[in-house]
Amino acid sequence: MMKLHLNPLSVIFFFLFGAAMSSKQHDYSDALSKSILFFEGQRSGYLPNDQRVPWRRNSGLSDGWTHNTDLTGGYYDAGDNVKFNFPMAFTTTMLAWSVIEFGELMPPPELRNALVALRWSSDYLLKSVSQLPNRIFVQVGDPIADHNCWERPEDMDTPRTAYVVNAPNPASEVAGEITAALSAASIAVRSSDPGYSQTLLQNAVKTFQFADMHRGAYSSNDDIKNDVCPFYCDFNGFQDELLWGAAWLRKATGDESYLSYIESNREPFGASENVDEFGWDNKIGGLNVLVSKEVIAGNMYNLEAYKASAESFMCSLVPESPGQHVEYTPGGLLYKPGGSQLQHATTISFLLLVYAQYLSRSSLSLNCGSLSVPPDHLRRLAKKQVDYILGENPMGLSYMVGYGERYPKRIHHRGSSLPSIVDHPGTIGCKDGSVYFNSTEPNPNVLIGAVVGGPEEDDKYDDDRSDFRKSEPTTYINAPFVGVLAYFAANPSFS
């Protein structure tokens, strides 16, 4: 088998795409701190005394009142003021996985901040499943009304509708992802708060029972589908979330029944096809990597098919390998059709690092046909994505707000773009914010650490608030980036 040898002083990979490599040294520790701080700018509910984003205040304090339920807390997923539980749960899973895999590499203050960010969302998710076994909350806030307004979360006067699914109606994709989130969070906090860990795990089990017993998509419910599908409808089906949730329960509990579930349902649930994607609406790429550890470290060869798919995914990221490959922009950014490109760069970079960890701990390499790829090469591929985001790109622009000398100043984000309550105590109504939305001035409040959607396939980026596909940050872009940055902050000289 041919081995891949790379000169760390002249990584050749992206020369294939015509992108010149920079020798710039990044402050990954600073980027890590800022990537976690971002979540404090997305908080909903009562803010604590140690809140570090000073231009935010309490918001969404009546959430859940129409159902006599406390649904305060959690995160606004992006630049709007809606709490979408599906992507929020994925955000939670990825924050937890970041801590599980890379928490030991984080400086103690940043590990604490990461756990605080994790608990802010896991506390909310516990509220959303508090009425199981027969009811689950899937969203708070009318997205149509919200998106027709440009106002601060502190001023919200749009309906704070709590969207609920009652059994036997299905919500498998949301419940499956919440299962994964609570299970992963239970592992992440097990050593620091064992009692809370147990609470998370008990609720994860109940949530999975709902997801599996009432199979189907939450968007199939007539009374809510018009308010979820324009935004976070899972177009890849709900079966991947069932496997994903079961895999995390297996990791959290060691229960053989979950092992049997992911083994026996892989083909019936359509997870046997090789998938080169991982994100809030498609878990297959992450599922394969997560389960592959059972094979690599635990010799669970009955799960070999998952490892084979994970290897196929990893090989598709290595241009020197035979077979099909993912697309990259001329500047070297992972590219998928659609908006918010950097969500792919952060999630896939995370998987590259995690898989490299699994291989390294077992002294293995990635086998891509006749090519043997060492774990460090996967880390180099991830580092290229990180460095692109932090400024090594054709625009010479950092796509993390507040990092570097040049970064987006006009992001698509209500709270950031409107004057803060400190500077403008009076209410800014639904349509009154339009003048700020249409302004060409930089946002008055810097949402430090926010990673925006990023450029398109031509590597070009216009700092335009109205172009939400490029300029809107999301929690699920940042969450995996926390783990990625933790690795490179601990290994700053890696090249």
Q: Give the CATH number of the domain where residue 206 resides.
A: 1.50.10.10
Residue 4 has a pLDDT of 61
416 token code pair? 């950031």
Of 4-13, 250-259, 409-418, 424-433, least confident by mean pLDDT is 4-13
Rounded Cα distance, 1 and 366, in Å:
11
Nearest to 230 by CA among 145, 135, 125: 145
pTM for this entry? 0.95
Rounded Cα distance, 404 and 390, in Å:
7
* Tokens 């015509």 sit on residue: 18
Rounded Cα distance, 454 and 460, in Å:
9
Q: Which residue has the higher pLDDT, 4 or 77?
A: 77
Respond yes or no: is residue 142 known to be catalytic.
no
Q: Is the preceding peptide bond at 194 cis, omega within 30 degrees of 0?
A: no
Rounded Cα distance, 92 and 74, in Å:
10
Residues 6 or more apart in contact with residue 162 via CB below 8 angstroms: 63, 64, 66, 67, 69, 71, 137, 139, 140
* Tokens 């404090």 sit on residue: 40
Q: Could you tell me if residue 395 is inside a domain? A: yes
Nearest to 234 by CA among 218, 213, 211, 210: 218
Burial class (CB in 10 A: 0-12, 13-18, 19+), 80: buried
* Tokens 């001329």 sit on residue: 330
Has residue 140 got a pLDDT over 50? yes
The one-letter amino acid code at 369 reads G
Q: Could you tell me if residue 459 is inside a domain? A: yes
181 token code pair? 């989130």
- The number of distinct structural domains making up the chain is 1
In three-state secondary structure terms, 461 is: coil
The one-letter amino acid code at 357 reads Q
Has residue 12 got a pLDDT over 60? no
Counting residues of the chain whose pLDDT is more than 70, the rounded percentage is: 95
Rounded Cα distance, 346 and 96, in Å:
15
Instruction: Answer for the pair 292, 355: CB distance below 8 angstroms, yes or no.
Output: yes
Q: Could you tell me if residue 177 is inside a domain? A: yes
- What is Dmax (Cα atoms) for the chain? 69
Q: Could you tell me if residue 216 is inside a domain? A: yes
Strand partners, 137: 164
Residue 1 has a pLDDT of 56
Residue 2 has a pLDDT of 56
Residue 222 has a pLDDT of 81
Burial class (CB in 10 A: 0-12, 13-18, 19+), 235: exposed
Mean pLDDT (the chain, rounded): 93
Catalytic residue among 80, 412, 413, 459: 412
Residue 8 has a pLDDT of 36
Catalytic residue among 80, 281, 294, 472: 472
Respond yes or no: is residue 77 known to be catalytic.
no
Residue 253 has a pLDDT of 98
Q: Could you tell me if residue 144 is inside a domain? A: yes
Q: Could you tell me if residue 179 is inside a domain? A: yes
Catalytic residue among 77, 173, 276, 463: 463
Q: Could you tell me if residue 439 is inside a domain? A: yes
Residue 10 has a pLDDT of 32
Task: Tell me what the mean pLDDT of segment 113-139 comes to.
Answer: 98
Has residue 75 got a pLDDT over 70? yes
Q: Give residue 32's domain range.
A: 28-491
DSSP state of 43: B
pLDDT level of residue 16 (50, 70, 90 thresholds): very low
Residue 273 has a pLDDT of 81
Rounded Cα distance, 415 and 409, in Å:
13
Residue 106 has a pLDDT of 98
Kind and range of the H or E run holding 228: helix 225-232
Respond yes or no: is residue 110 known to be catalytic.
no
Q: Could you tell me if residue 446 is inside a domain? A: yes
Helix, strand, coil percent values for the chain (each to nearest 5): 50, 5, 45
Instruction: Answer for the pair 136, 169: CB distance below 8 angstroms, yes or no.
Output: no
Kind and range of the H or E run holding 166: strand 162-166
φ, ψ (nearest 5 deg) of residue 442: -60, 155
Rounded Cα distance, 346 and 485, in Å:
10
Q: Are strands 371-373 and 2-3 parallel, antiparallel or unpaired?
A: parallel
DSSP state of 231: H
